[in-house]
């Protein structure tokens, strides 16, 4: 009886070891698949762009050391980035970059993406995956940002707006003919407005967003900090 019990216990232990090893193999395979999807995809192979507009006053409340964006002139919505995306979700990132933005490109881009650190980050993380040169990518980013009409409620607000995420989305829809609620999402940090993200095809026409682009905000009125001084809007 004792021998049988030992054999049963050994079998149970071996089964647990087998299950643990199988789990590790599956997890490693998933991690490799995730890496290929996000970081090692073929350059230029993606479906559409996610154009992310950042509400600068919210960003600057927690990044006061970012002097270019937050130290002087007050901005409203600025361009966070233009991100290649897959319809199935996410998009390529950190592709090999043989070029870097030159001074003239950076200077031009600071008009709508007012941080050298952000310009460099967006090129290395997203822009290099488009297959464009830095000059071409940031020219595209400029056109994408200019193509979005910022609603009047955000142009030069004198008092804090009492808007929900749905209200913010509807304001953008009303200001931009052809846009509907399948083409954008609003993101928040807790109950504070962070970004409005708009989906565009490779020719910068509005399109329905792919998987995973969803509004991420609590219900009810959001906290929307005011810009200091004037704002730069379209």
Active site members: 80, 122, 126
How many Å apart are CA 139 and CA 217, to the nearest integer? 31
Q: Are 222 and 191 in contact (CB under 8 A)?
A: yes
Q: Are 234 and 145 in contact (CB under 8 A)?
A: yes
How many Å apart are CA 78 and CA 195, to the nearest integer? 9
CA angle 66, 190, 111 (to 5 degrees): 30
Q: Which two tokens stand for residue 145?
A: 């940002």
DSSP code at position 129: G
How many Å apart are CA 9 and CA 4, to the nearest integer? 9
Only one residue has tokens 């209200």, namely 167
Q: Are 166 and 220 in contact (CB under 8 A)?
A: no
């Amino acid at each position: 009886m004792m021998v049988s019990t030992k054999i049963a216990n050994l079998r149970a232990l071996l089964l647990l070891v087998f299950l643990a090893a199988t789990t590790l193999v599956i997890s490693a395979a998933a991690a490799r698949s995730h890496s290929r999807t996000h970081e090692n995809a073929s350059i230029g192979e993606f479906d559409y762009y996610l154009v992310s507009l950042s509400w600068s006053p919210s960003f600057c409340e927690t990044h006061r050391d970012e002097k270019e964006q937050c130290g002087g002139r007050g901005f409203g919505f600025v361009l966070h980035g233009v991100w290649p995306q897959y319809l199935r979700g996410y998009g390529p990132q950190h592709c090999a970059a043989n070029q870097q933005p030159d001074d003239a490109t950076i200077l031009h881009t600071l008009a709508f993406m007012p941080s050298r650190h952000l310009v460099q980050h967006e090129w290395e993380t997203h822009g290099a995956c488009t297959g464009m040169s830095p000059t071409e990518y940031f020219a595209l980013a400029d056109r994408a940002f200019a193509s979005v009409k910022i609603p009047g409620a955000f142009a030069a607000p004198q008092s804090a707006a009492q808007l929900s995420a749905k209200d913010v989305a509807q304001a953008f829809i009303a200001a931009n003919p052809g846009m509907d609620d399948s083409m954008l999402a609003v993101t928040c940090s807790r109950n504070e407005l962070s970004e409005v993200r708009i989906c565009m095809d490779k020719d910068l026409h509005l399109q329905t967003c792919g998987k995973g682009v969803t509004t991420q905000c609590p219900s009810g009125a959001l906290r929307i900090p005011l810009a200091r001084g004037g704002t730069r809007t379209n």
